[in-house]
Chains A and B, each alone.
Chain A
C-alpha cells in the first residue's frame, strides 16, 4: 500500500491529494517507481520517538527515496505540542518532501492551520540546506520580550518570532520550522547517505548522474571514484560533464576521472580539446594527466601541440606531465627545443631544464641546447 502511495507521491510536485492528505514534494533524484520498501534502524535522535528509517527501492534495486515518520514535541517555555509528520529524503540525502497523515495539519499560533502558501513555504525552507537555521540556537527563535497578545504566540506555544529569523521560517510557526529543518539535516541525513553508499554500483551512479538536480549530480560525481569500479561508460559520462558549461560539475567530473587503465577512454578526448577550455579547466585537465598511470600516445601528441600556448604556466605544467611520464622521444622533444628560443625567459628556462637532463641524440635539439647555453 505504502509503495503505491509513494509512487503517486513522486508524480505530484506539491499538493493535497484527492483524499485530502497533505503532501509536498520537490523534484526527485530518480523518476523511478518504488518496488520494495526496507526498514532500517534509525539513529536515535533526541525527542524523536520513531526509530525506523525506511528505504524505498526501484525494481532495479536502486534506492530511490527514504522516509521517516516523525513524532516529536515542539517545546518552548515549558509548553509543548506534538508534531506528527513524515519526512522524505532523496538517496543523496537531499530533502525530498513531507506528508501528514490524513486529518493531520500543521498549525501556527492559536493552532491556526497552515495556509497552502505556508505549506509551500515550509517545503521551500526545508529544501534550503544552507539555511541560517543551521547555526541559530533554538533559544534565538524568539526575541527577549514577553508576548503582548495571544496573536504573537508562536506555534501555539509562546513568544513572537524574532524579526531576524522571519526570512528563514514560516511566520508564526518558527519552532515547528526549526525542528523540522534540524530533523531533515540532522543525523538521519547522514544515515540516508550511508545506506545509499552501500548500494552504489556503476549503473546506479550513472542513474544518479541523470538527476535533474545539480547537487545530486555533484553528489554522484563525488561518488564516482573510490566507491564504484570504474567503467568506460562511466568515464564517458564524466567527459560529457567536462564538456558542459557548469563549472562545478566540470571541476568535480575532472576530479572523478579514473587515472588507471580506463583513463585511455578520456585522455585523448580531453587533451585534443584542451584549447577550447578556460585556463582554469586547462590547468585541472593537464594536472590530471600528470597523475595517470600511462600517458596515451594521442594525448601526448595533443599536449605537445599545447606547448605553443603563450601561457607560460600552462607550458610549464605540460612539461611537468612529460617529466612525470619520462617522455624523451624526439618527436615530442623537438617542439620543446623550439621553446629555447622563446622571448619569454621563463619558458625558455623551463624547456632547458627539461631537456638538459635527457640523453638526447637528435642533432637539431642538441644544437639548440648548445645555443641556449651560450646565450645564458
Chain B
C-alpha cells in the first residue's frame, strides 16, 4: 500500500514536471505515428523527373485524376536536382521535332530568366551542345510545380512505392513517405523512375548492362584565371598525382585542363553510379562529392589555382544509366541511326549516340536528315496490362539508349505515355489496345509532334 502510494506520487510528479516545462503557447505532441491513408486516381505516375512531370501534366490536362509520386523534394529530376540544366535537343535539321508540354515549360523558363534560345537554323555540326537550351534549373523546378498544381496533379513528395499489386482493373500502389503509408488505387500506372523499379516491382523483366555508364556530379568552380595558367605544368602535376594514387584518373576523365576550362559543369564521372536504391544512390553521391573535394584540395596546390573555390554543387549525383524494361519492342542502334519510322511511333528523339565510359565520351552524330522515333511498344513491358514507362528506362539496346535517355526525348516519351494512359483509362483498355489514330489526335491536340502524322 505504501509502495503503491509512492509510485503514484512519482507519477504525479512526473506529469507535473512535464506540464511545468511547457512555456505559454507550447503544446506537447503526441508520439510520432506513421499514418495510413487510402486514395484513388485514374492515373498514377511514379517519378517526378523529366518524363514523369510531362506524363502527369498530359494526364491531368486531359481531365484525368492524376497522382504524381516523387521521392525527392522537387520536380524536374536530372534537369533540376541533377543540375543538367540543358534539357537536350528539340530541333533537328532546322525543324522542331519535340514540342508539346515539355517544350512549353522549357520555353517559359527561358523567357522568365531572359535567357536566349540557340539559333536552331544554324546546323550544330560536330558540336551538338550548340543546340542545347540552357535554362535556370531552380526556376524550371518552380514552373513545373506551378503547372502541376494548376492542372490538378496531386503531387506526393517524399514518397516511394513499396509494393505494386495488379487489381481487377488497374493497380494498388503502396507507398511510404515521411509519417505516411499510402495505398493508391488507380487504373493506369506509369513508371517514370528512370530505373524501371516499379516495372520490376510489378513483376515484369528489366535488364541492365554489366557495366553501366558513369554518373556526373554537377558543380561550378572559380577563383582562377584560366588563360594565365601554366597548363603544361598543371597537366604534369595531375599525372603525377594520379600515378601516386592521390587522384583517380576517371573522376574527371583524365582531363584536368578540361575541368579548369569548363569550371566544372558536366565533367565529373562517378563510375557505377546507380540511383535505383537509397543505398546505391548514397554511394554515388558520396563518391562524387569525395572526388570533388579531393580534386579541389589538389587544385589549390597548383600555381595560379591557389584560390580555387567551389561556387555551387548539386545535391545529388545525376545518373545516366541503370535498368531498362524488356518491352514489346526493343529500339536498336540500327533503328536509331537510320531514323526508323514505326507504325506506332509516338515521339521523336534527337541526340548523338553518346556512351560515356571511364575515358570520357566521343559522341557519334546522326547522319544528316535522320530523326529517330520511339514506338509505343517500347514503352510497354512485355506481359503487362494498364502499365507504361517513359524516360531512360525505355526498351532499347545500350547504344540506342545512350541517345534516347536525354531529357528532350524523355519529355516526348512522357507525353506519349501520359496520352496513352488517358485513352486507355477513358476507353477501358490497356495502352497497347488504344488506337493509334486516337493517340496521335490526343497528342497533337496537346501540342506534341507525332512522327508519321501529317503534322509530324
Cβ-based interface call for A346 (8 A): yes
Chain B 33-71 interface residues, beta-carbon cutoff 8 Å to A: 60-63
Q: Separation in Å of the A248 CB from the closest CB of chain B? A: 5
Q: Collect the chain B residues with CB atoms within 8 Å of residue A342's CB.
A: 63
Interface residue A363 (Cβ < 8 Å from any Cβ of B): no
Residue of B nearest to A344 (CB): B63
Q: Would you give the 0/1 interface string for A116-135, flagging 1 where the beta carbon is closer than 8 Å to chain B?
A: 00000000000000101001
Is B62 in contact with A278, judged by CB distance below 8 angstroms? no
Main secondary structure of the interface of A (DSSP, over half): helix
* Sample of 8 more A-B contacts, CB < 8 Å, known A132-B127, A311-B447, A343-B63: A140-B231, A144-B232, A167-B126, A278-B99, A311-B445, A313-B61, A316-B150, A344-B61
Given A137-B231, A247-B91, A247-B96, residue A280 in contact with residue B447 (CB < 8 A): yes
Q: Report chain A residues within 8 Å CB of B60.
A: 346
Min distance, Cβ A183 to any Cβ of chain B, angstroms: 15
Q: Is the CB of A345 within 8 A of B227?
A: no
Contacts of A311 on B, CB cut-off 8 Å?
61, 445-447
Q: How many residues of B contact A (CB 8 A)?
A: 37
Q: Which residue of B lies closest to A130 (CB)?
A: B130
22 A–B contacts from the bound complex (CB under 8 Å): A138-B227, A139-B232, A140-B257, A144-B232, A167-B126, A214-B122, A248-B120, A251-B107, A279-B447, A280-B104, A280-B447, A283-B107, A283-B447, A312-B63, A313-B61, A316-B150, A344-B61, A344-B62, A344-B63, A345-B152, A346-B151, A346-B152
* Residues of chain A from 328 to 346 with CB closer than 8 A to chain B in the complex: 342-346
Tell me if B261 and A278 are in contact (CB < 8 A).
no
Return chain A residues, CB-CB under 8 Å to B227: 137-138
Task: Mark out the residues of chain A between 63 and 122 whose CB falls within 8 Å of any chain B CB in the assembled complex.
Answer: none
B91 (CB) vs chain A CBs: closest residue: A247
Contact B119 A346 (CB under 8 A): no
* Per-residue contact bits, chain B 225-253, to A (CB 8 Å; 1 contact, 0 not): 01101111001000000000000000000
B114-152 vs A, Cβ < 8 Å mask (1 yes, 0 no): 000101111000110010000000000000000000111
Given contacts A140-B257, A311-B447, contact A214 B121 (CB under 8 A): yes
- A246 contacts which of B62, B121, B232, B445 (Cβ < 8 Å)? B121
How far is A270 from B101 in the complex, measured between Cα atoms in Å? 22
Known: A137-B226, A214-B122. A279 touches B100 (CB 8 A): yes
Given A130-B130, A139-B230, A284-B63 contact (CB < 8 Å) = no
B264 to chain A, nearest CB (A): 13
CB-based contact B62/A144 at 8 Å: no
A219 to B423, CA, bound (A): 45
**CB of B387 within 8 A of chain A?**
no
Tell me if B350 is interfacial: C-beta within 8 Å of chain A: no
Contact of B61 among A215, A246, A312 (CB under 8 A): A312
Give the distance to chain A from B119, nearest Cβ to Cβ, in Å. Answer: 5
The interface residues of chain A lying within 8 Å CB-to-CB of B230 are 139
Does B323 sit within 8 A of A, measured CB to CB? no
| Residues of chain A lying within 8 A (CB to CB) of residue B150 | 316
* CB neighbors of B among A228-252 (8 A): 246-248, 251
Q: Which residues of B contact A284 (CB under 8 A)?
A: 107
Given A218-B119, A311-B447, does the pair A278, B96 have CB atoms closer than 8 Å?
yes
Chain B residues engaging chain A, CB cutoff 8 angstroms: 60-63, 91, 96, 99-101, 103-104, 107, 111, 117, 119-122, 126-127, 130, 150-152, 226-227, 229-232, 235, 257, 261-262, 445-447
Set B62, B63, B104, B122: member contacting A279, Cβ < 8 A: B104
Contacting residues of chain A (289-321) with chain B, CB-CB under 8 angstroms: 309-314, 316
A347 interface contact, C-beta 8 A: yes
User: A247 and B120: CB pair below 8 A?
Assistant: yes
Q: Which residues of the other chain, B, contact A139 by a CB distance below 8 angstroms?
A: 229-232
A280 and B103 form a contact (CB under 8 A): yes
Q: In whole angstroms, what is the CA distance A267 to B151 when docked?
A: 28
Report the separation of the CA atoms of residues A144 and B230 in the bound assembly, to the nearest whole angstrom: 11
A130 and B446: CB pair below 8 A? no
A-B contact count (CB 8 A): 93
Given contacts A144-B235, A311-B447, contact A248 B152 (CB under 8 A): no
A139 to B91, CA, bound (A): 35
Q: Is A367 an interface residue (CB 8 A)?
A: no
CB of B127, distance to nearest CB on chain A (Å): 7
How far, in whole Å, are A347 and B151 apart by their CA atoms in the complex? Answer: 9
> Are B103 and A137 neighbours in the complex by a CB distance under 8 Å?
no
Give the shortest distance, in Å, between B45 (CB) and chain A (any CB). 16
Known contacts A278-B96, A349-B152: A130-B127 contact under CB 8 Å: yes
Q: Are A347 and B63 in contact (CB under 8 A)?
A: yes
* Residues of A in contact with B (beta carbons under 8 Å apart): 130, 132, 135-140, 144, 167, 214-215, 218, 246-248, 251, 255, 278-280, 282-284, 309-314, 316, 342-347, 349
Q: Are B232 and A215 in contact (CB under 8 A)?
A: no
The contact of B99 among A136, A214, A279, A310, by CB within 8 Å, is A279
7 shortest A-B CB distances, which residue pairs?
Answer: A279-B447, A344-B63, A310-B445, A345-B63, A312-B61, A139-B231, A346-B63
The distance in angstroms between the C-alpha atoms of A97 and B151, with both chains bound, is 53
Q: Which residue of A lies closest to B226 (CB)?
A: A137
Q: How distant is B185 from chain A, measured CB to nearest CB, in Å?
A: 19
CB-based contact B62/A280 at 8 Å: no
Find chain A residues with CB under 8 A from B99 CB.
278-280
Which listed residue, A135, A279, A316, touches B446 by the CB 8 Å rule? A279
Is there contact, CB below 8 Å, between A313 and B446? yes
Name the residue on A nearest B230 (C-beta): A139
- Distance (whole angstroms) from the CB of A173 to the closest CB of chain B: 20
The residue in chain B whose Cβ has the minimal distance to the Cβ of A346 is B63
**B229: which A residues are within 8 A, CB to CB?**
137, 139
Per the bound structure, the CA–CA distance linking A138 and B121 in Å amounts to 31
Chain A residues in 8 Å Cβ range of B121 = 214, 246-248
Query: Once bound together, how far apart are the Cα atoms of A239 and B230, in whole Å?
Result: 53
A138 to B231, CA, bound (A): 10
**Whole-angstrom distance between the Cβ of B112 and the nearest chain A Cβ:** 11
Is A135's CB under 8 angstroms from B261's CB?
yes
Which residue of chain B lies nearest to A249 when distances are taken between CB atoms in the complex? B121
A312 and B62: CB pair below 8 A? yes
B122: chain A residues at CB < 8 Å are 214-215
B91: chain A residues within 8 A (beta carbon) = 247
Chain B residues contacting A313 (CB-CB under 8 Å) are 61, 101, 104, 151, 446-447
Question: What chain A residues lie within 8 Å of B261 (beta carbons)?
Answer: 135-137
CB distance from A341 to the nearest CB of B (A): 13
Interface pair A280/B96, CB less than 8 Å apart: yes
Q: Which residues of B contact A214 (CB under 8 A)?
A: 119, 121-122
Nearest CB in chain A to that of B110: its residue:
A251
Min CB distance A307 to B, Å, is 14
The residue that B62 contacts in the complex, of A132, A138, A346, with Cβ under 8 A, is A346
For B63, list chain A residues within 8 Å (CB).
Answer: 312, 342-347
CB contact under 8 A between A251 and B117, given known A278-B96, A312-B61:
yes
The distance from the CB of A188 to the nearest CB of chain B, in whole angstroms, is 18
Per the bound structure, the CA–CA distance linking A312 and B230 in Å amounts to 58
